[in-house]
Amino acid sequence: MKNIGILLSGRGSNFEAIAKNVATGAVRNAHIAVVISNKPDAGGLETARKLGLNAVAIPSKGKDRESHDREVVAALKQHNVDLVCLAGYMRLLSPWFVQQFPQRILNIHPSLLPAFPGLEAQEQAFAYGVKVAGCTVHFVDEELDHGAIIVQKAIPVLDSDDEHTLAARILEQEHIAYSEAINLVLSGKFKTAGRRIVKT
């Protein structure tokens, strides 16, 4: 059994989708050991409490990045976390944090990276006029929205879309993609060739 640690800053729908898949066994041999938020009022923390999971607020406000990261890493290690999943965690990790969990931190981003890194990716894609959009689950490295890609899901942008309908359809795919990526990483059945993650 592998221990997952979730980091989030907001409503936590990706976390909920993962929790559901852990509960049904669709995410195999895994347990959510702790849910941590840098925002004490994050909706995702409340959901974690309702699900009976360990929910921990570690406020980032007024702290420098590395001292906050040290508190978060201490909590993850205290719960023996094997895999860290960023699920709408709106903070850049310090290089020190990344080094604590080599190839053991995943992030989800609502665009087909390397297009549209950073904030409000769905709005960026919509405004750019792309005809295909989607989401990416990737390993976290020291650069923003940059590490090796594990899973991507693409959807067409419809003429009838606005930013909201597009973001909602991307989110549906996020909820599928994240669990797929977790299963692959926890199974260990992949190899890395440069930036390429290839199933074995």
Active-site option among 68, 79, 109, 138: 109
Question: Which is closer to ligand GAR, CB of 117 or CB of 189?
Answer: 117
Closest CA to 109 of 130, 89, 128, 82: 89
Name the residue number minimizing CB distance to ligand GAR: 88
Catalytic, 109? Answer: yes
**Shortest approach of ligand GAR to residue 200 CB, angstroms?**
27
- Using the minimum distance from each CB to ligand GAR, give the nearer residue, 121 or 166: 121
Distances in Å between the Cα of 110 and the Cα atoms of 117, 152, 175, 176 are 9, 10, 11, 13
Interacting residue ranges for ligand GAR, rule: CB under 6 A: 8, 10-14, 44, 87-88, 108-110, 121, 145, 171, 174
Question: Cβ closer to ligand GAR: 12 or 199?
Answer: 12
Cβ-based neighbours of 61, under 8 Å, separated by 6 or more: none
Least distance (Å) between residue 164 CB and ligand GAR: 12
On whether the CB atoms of residues 56 and 75 are closer than 8 A, the answer is yes
Strand bridging mode 2-8 / 30-37: parallel
As a whole number of angstroms, the longest Cα–Cα distance in the chain is 49
Least distance CB 73 / ligand GAR (angstroms): 20
Rounded Cα gap, residues 111 and 115, in angstroms: 7
Closest separation in Å from C-beta 11 to ligand GAR: 4
Locate the DSSP E strands across 67-169. Answer: 83-86, 105-109, 132-139, 149-156
Please identify, using beta-carbon distances, which residue of 8 and 106 lies nearer to ligand GAR.
Answer: 8
Residue with tokens 């989110």: 171
* Residues with catalytic roles: 109
